[in-house]
Chain A
Amino acid sequence: MANDKNAGSGKLGTFGYNALALSIFILLWAVVSWISESLFLPTPWTVLKSFLDLCTYGDVEGINLGMHIFKSTLRIFAGFVAACILGIPLGILMGLYPRVYDSTKSVIEPIRFIPPVAWIPLVIVLLVGFSRYAFIIWLGAFFPIFIGTLLSVRSVNPTHIDVPRSFGAKRLYIIKKIVIPSTLPDIFTGMRVGMGIGWDCIMAAEMIGGENEGLGVMILKYAELIRIEDIMVGMIVIGAIGFLINEVFIFVERRVFKWKEAIVIS
């Protein structure tokens, strides 16, 4: 049964509407900053100028914006990959053998609820250099991936397991051919969420990292100097990259999992 209104495709299309929303936002920002005349609320074009300067001349220490972006992204991916390598197999294991999870809950769950930021003092003392960053980000990314995988394994459709079972399939076959493909979309979602949280932790990680390159570090440098427009460049870049990564994930998900049934209202 067709819907009366076709959601999401007015005259402009989604892309057009987004461009419009962005323009309106920038306009409002310009108006507010012009009216307030505060030193602490720069106009959009001031921020744009700082952005261009940071790209070409670099920050107060001469380090280029591109380098900051590169370093931060590297750290994120290191922590994220580590989280996947540990989180996915562990999630599958504990999903298949719930008793293991139930008996280790008292250790896992409390750790899960310690925010990455609270680990900072310990991390400063115990780790050095790159590993500090990677660990904090790993902590942020690990749990969504692990729990997401675990829950997905637990909620595999029992009929899908019954089908090979009724033919006498061995357990390994069922895990390989049914459990894994069935949980893949949810694992992917867990990865996307994990990446997002890991990215959230970049500031915390870079506060204690000790190096002078990285988007979070850059923001801190300018915080000390109270150069708001440069701080805002940092913030916007962080937000934009996070958004982009998320969209890439979603794009891949849609392509790879085209067998997933859309929710049909009929």
Chain B
Amino acid sequence: MAGRKIKIEVRNLSKHFDDLIVLHQMDFDIYEGEFLCVVGPTGCGKTTFCNVVTGLLPITEGSITMGGEKIDFKKHNVSFVFQEPSCIPWRTIWDDVKIGLEIKKVPKNEINERVSAILDLTGLTEFKDFYPSQISAGMKQRVVIARGFVTEPDLLLMDEPFGQLDSSTRFYIENQLIKVWEKTKRTVIFVTHNLEEAVYLSERILVCTQKPTGIKEEVFVGLPHPRDITDPEFVKIRNRVTDLVKWWE
């Protein structure tokens, strides 16, 4: 990717669980501020990949480095957005979004500033005192996005966060996500099963193989946002990715 700094280097990454090889010699770079999607057939170890990149699970072989150092939660700023609804039930939206900043001991007035800004960006300002039980599923995912971005992370990892939403809400929130990403210029890794979503969102798609998981190919999506799913160019790329994944074979 022309002109972009490399943010994270993955070299010869392998992950074994006893005899089971899940990830096998993965070799690639992640660029500063890019929106990268990771797709692959069901059960191809995408979640293991996430866990390993962020250091939740130890690597068996190879290395993942950010700025030359191994990724470390305490030093580096990594945010997760999970698949399951993860709003904390006893916290208001405002409190929920600020939780990452609280943990990192950011000063109070800075917290207020940043949380206000992100809520504004995600259209949640008027709901800041609501509880998760009072808001819709789409809004909950917006809260989760806000929470992920507010800490200005070095890396934001999203694992199928929109799986539970209906079609229209999904498009709406995908557009919101792109809006926030374009504004904040964070590096995002987005894992999904939904190939159309991958083509809709990302600049670059990494297609993984079945276990032992490696990178099959990378696909560049150079279309401007917001994208049109009926656009023949979009369709072409989508079909290409679908052929590459070919899960039913």
Contacts and interface: CB of A to CB of B under 8 A. Distances in A.
A244 interface: no
Interface residues of A, number: 4
B18 A2 contact: yes
Nearest to A3: B17
B57 A4 contact: yes
Contacts of B48: 1
B47 interface: yes
Interface in A1-37: 1-4
B103 interface: no
Contact of A2 (B17, B47, B58): B17
B1 interface: no
B212 to A, nearest CB: 14
Nearest to B17: A2
Q: Is the interface of A mostly helix, strand, loop or mixed?
A: loop
A2 B48 CA distance: 10
Contacts of B57: 4
A86 B52 CA distance: 55
Interface in B40-70: 47-48, 57-58
Sorted nearest first, the 8 A-B pairs with minimum C-beta distance are: A2-B17, A2-B20, A1-B48, A4-B17, A1-B47, A2-B18, A4-B57, A4-B58
Interface string B202-233: 00000000000000000000000000000000
Interface in B9-44: 17-18, 20
A239 to B, nearest CB: 39
Contacts, number: 10
A163 to B, nearest CB: 24
A3 B18 CA distance: 9
Interface string A69-94: 00000000000000000000000000
A1 B213 CA distance: 14
B22 to A, nearest CB: 8
10 contacts: A1-B17, A1-B47, A1-B48, A2-B17, A2-B18, A2-B20, A3-B17, A4-B17, A4-B57, A4-B58
A233 to B, nearest CB: 47
Contacts of B58: 4
A49 B48 CA distance: 58
A8 to B, nearest CB: 16
A100 B18 CA distance: 56
Contacts of A4: 17, 57-58
Contacts of A2: 17-18, 20
Nearest to A1: B48
